[in-house]
Amino acid sequence: MYSLIETAKANHREPYQYLSWLFERLPQARPEEYASLMPWAMPEVSDL
């Protein structure tokens, strides 16, 4: 959990928003889609 939060911070994402976004998508994600769940792939807040 710590590494997810710190990676979000390092990519200028608010950790709570990133974790919420991630945990919504993670259950349906296939292994080949995991890269699209990284903080740098998260849309900007205005795009959500």
Segment 4-11 shows an average pLDDT of 96
Length of the chain: 48
* Burial profile 34-46: b = 16 or more Cβ within 10 angstroms, e = fewer: eeeeebeebeeee
Query: Which pLDDT belongs to residue 47?
Result: 54
Segment 24-29 shows an average pLDDT of 96
Torsion of CA 37, 15, 42, 25, to 10 degrees: 40
Segment 16-31 shows an average pLDDT of 96
Read off the pTM.
0.84
Share the mean pLDDT of the chain: 93
